[in-house]
C-alpha cells in the first residue's frame, strides 16, 4: 500500500530518532557496528512500522510475518526497531552488549523477544529463510518472510545455494532485501570482492529483482507490494544504500564498519542528526 505523506513523516521521524539513539549507545558502549546499522535504518523502519504483520504481545504468534536480519552485525538498529515496536522496553537499548544483557552483540533468538533468527556468521540467513518460507507454506500460512542481506555477505557461497533453493521451491512468500551499501569491513566491495552486476546475477538465478533507493521509505514500501504481487518466484529488493548514512564523516567509509566512536566524533555526529 502506498504510504501517505503523513505516514512517511512518521517513519522519517522514527529513522531520525533511531539514528540518534544508535550513535548515543555506540558512543557510550565503545563497541558495535555503526556503518551497517545506519545503512539499514530505512529498510528496518519500513518493515517493522509499515509492512510486516507482527504481534509484540505474542512474539511467537504463528501468523506473524518473519523478519530475518541476515547481516546480524546491524543488531543495534534491529533492537531499536524491536524496542519501539514494544517487544521489550526502549530503555533496555542502553544495555547493548553489556554483561548479562538480553541484547547480545549479534541477534539471538533465545535472548531477545522478537528476534526471528540468530545471525552473525554471514551467509546463512537466506537459506534458513527458505526453510521458514517453505514450512509456512506447508501450513497454508499467508505469512511472509523478509530477509535482509548485506552486500559483503554475498561473498559467502551459501547465499547462492539459498538463492537456487528459493527458486527451485518457488518460495514466493520470501522477499530478500539487499542493503547494498557497497562497503565491507576491509574496504569497498569493489576492492575486496567485486560483486559485479548483482541484479543480473539474481535475475540469472531466477529471482524477481526490484531496484530501489534504500533510503526512500515510499520506494521501499512500494517495493514490498510489488514483491507480493509476483507469484511463483522469490523477489529481491536491490536497495541502494549508503554505509554510515546520516553521519557525513562515516558515509561510504569502511573504517566505520565497527569502530568505536570517540568524543569529538560523537559531538559532530549528534549535531548533524539534530
Partner 1 sequence: MAKSIREAYGDALLACGRENPDIVVLDADVSGSTKSSTFKKEFPDRFFNVGIAEANMTAMAAGFASVGKIPFANTFAAFISTLGLLPARAFGSYSKLPVKLMGAYGGLSDAFDGPSHHSVEDIAIMRSLPNFKVYVASDAAQTHWLVRHAVEDHAPMYVRLSRDVFPDLYAPGESFLDGKGRVVREGRDITVIACGILTGFAAEAADDLAKEGLSVRVVDMFCIKPLDTELILACAAETGAIVTAEEHSVIGGLGGAVCEALGEAGAGVPVGRVGLSDRHAECGPYKKLLAKYGLDKQAVISAVRATLARKI
Q: Which positions lie near partner 1, rule CB under 8 A?
A: 62, 66, 108-110, 116-121, 124, 127-136, 138-139, 157-158, 161-162, 164-165, 168-169
User: For residue 105, which phi and psi values (nearest 5 degrees)?
Assistant: -55, -35
Nearer to partner 1, 86 or 120 (CB): 120
Alpha-carbon Rg of the chain, whole angstroms?
Answer: 17
> Considering only CA atoms, which of 157, 177, 156 is closest in space to residue 221?
177
- Residue 178's DSSP bridge partners are 149, 238
Distance of CA 123 to the CA centre of its chain: 14
- Minimal distance, residue 135 CB to partner 1, in Å: 4
User: For residue 37, which phi and psi values (nearest 5 degrees)?
Assistant: -75, -40
Distance of CA 228 to the CA centre of its chain: 18
- Minimal distance, residue 223 CB to partner 1, in Å: 23
Nearer to partner 1, 157 or 194 (CB): 157
Query: In 3-state terms, what secondary structure has residue 66?
Result: strand
Nearer to partner 1, 159 or 183 (CB): 159
> Considering only CA atoms, which of 173, 177, 17 is closest in space to residue 90?
17
Nearer to partner 1, 34 or 107 (CB): 107
- Cβ pair 225, 244 in contact under 8 A: no
- Which single residue is written with the C-alpha cell 514494544? 86
- Cβ pair 140, 60 in contact under 8 A: no
- Minimal distance, residue 159 CB to partner 1, in Å: 9
Nearer to partner 1, 108 or 268 (CB): 108
Give the integer Cα–Cα distance in Å for 174 and 170.
9
- Minimal distance, residue 127 CB to partner 1, in Å: 3
- Minimal distance, residue 65 CB to partner 1, in Å: 12
- Minimal distance, residue 78 CB to partner 1, in Å: 16
Nearer to partner 1, 110 or 274 (CB): 110
Amino acid at each position: 500500500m502506498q504510504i501517505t505523506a503523513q505516514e512517511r513523516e512518521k517513519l522519517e521521524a522514527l529513522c531520525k530518532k533511531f539514528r540518534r539513539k544508535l550513535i548515543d549507545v555506540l558512543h557510550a558502549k565503545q563497541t558495535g557496528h555503526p556503518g551497517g546499522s545506519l545503512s539499514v535504518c530505512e529498510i528496518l523502519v519500513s518493515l517493522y512500522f509499515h509492512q510486516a504483520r507482527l504481534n509484540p504481545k505474542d512474539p511467537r504468534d504463528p501468523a506473524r510475518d518473519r523478519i530475518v536480519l541476515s547481516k546480524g552485525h546491524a543488531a543495534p538498529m534491529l533492537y531499536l526497531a524491536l524496542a519501539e515496536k514494544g517487544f521489550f522496553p526502549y530503555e533496555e537499548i542502553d544495555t547493548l552488549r553489556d554483561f548479562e544483557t538480553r541484547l547480545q552483540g549479534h541477534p539471538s533468538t533465545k535472548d531477545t523477544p522478537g528476534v526471528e533468527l540468530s545471525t552473525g556468521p554471514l551467509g546463512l540467513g537466506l537459506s534458513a529463510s527458505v526453510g521458514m518460507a517453505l514450512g509456512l507454506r506447508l501450513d497454508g500460512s499467508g505469512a511472509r518472510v523478509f530477509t535482509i542481506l548485506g552486500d559483503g555477505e554475498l561473498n559467502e557461497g551459501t547465499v547462492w545455494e539459498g538463492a537456487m533453493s528459493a527458486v527451485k521451491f518457488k518460495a514466493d512468500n520470501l522477499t530478500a532485501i539487499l542493503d547494498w551499501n557497497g562497503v565491507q569491513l576491509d574496504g569497498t566491495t569493489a576492492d575486496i570482492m567485486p560483486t559485479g552486476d548483482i541484479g543480473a546475477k539474481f535475475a540469472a538465478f531466477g529471482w524477481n529483482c526490484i531496484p530501489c533507493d534504500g533510503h526512500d521509505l515510499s520506494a521501499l514500501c512500494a517495493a514490498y507490494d510489488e514483491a507480493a504481487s509476483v507469484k511463483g518466484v522469490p523477489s529481491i529488493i536491490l536497495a541502494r544504500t549508503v554505509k554510515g548514512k546520516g553521519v557525513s564523516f562515516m558515509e561510504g567509509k569502511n573504517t566505520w564498519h565497527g569502530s568505536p566512536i570517540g568524543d569529538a566524533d560523537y559531538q559532530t555526529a549528534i549535531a548533524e542528526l539534530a
